Amino acid sequence: MESRSQSAAERHARGYNCAQAVACTYGDLVDVDEVTLFKACEGLGLGMGGMEGTCGALSGACMLAGLVNSTGDLAHPTSKGSTYALSRQMVSQFASEAGATACHDLKGRETGVVLTPCPRCIEIACDLVEKTLFSGRDS
């Protein structure tokens, strides 16, 4: 798969939050239109709306894990464990590469030292999405 991180970066530069930039970049691969993904991810930016929670880029990546892996079987939800495993893998690798998973830590809100700026977080998240969720695809 050719990297789509530049496309995600362009979305972010146009004003998409980090979660929107990541998730919307792969909408065609999860059969969800960009407007729906954009709306669904709007509250996930800035560490879930207030720079205290999980990085938006990482949240967008985990949202994609569910869209890729979930069976969507409402009566018998059996895919949670495997989706959690995919998400856990991305969270762990993101933490290793970015130095943290919480937006306030990544942005150095308490320390004044930025660990990883948003564009790099988006790039890391895209790399993980492609490697973890879409490896072997040509798109």
Query: 104 in a domain, yes or no?
Result: yes
- Domain encompassing residue 102: 5-132
* Residues 54-75: b if buried by 16+ CB within 10 A, e if exposed: bbbbbbbbbbbbbbbbeeeeee
pLDDT one-digit tens code per residue, 59-110: 999 999 999 999 999 999 999 999 999 999 999 999 999 999 999 999 999 9
In this prediction the pTM is 0.94
> At CA 81, angle to CA 83 and CA 103, rounded to 5?
50
Q: Which of 29, 40, 81, 28 is nearest to 17 (CA)?
A: 40
The chain-wide mean pLDDT, for the chain, equals: 95
The number of distinct structural domains making up the chain is: 1
Query: 28 in a domain, yes or no?
Result: yes
Query: 22 in a domain, yes or no?
Result: yes
Query: 46 in a domain, yes or no?
Result: yes
Query: 139 in a domain, yes or no?
Result: no
> 102 in helix, strand or coil?
strand
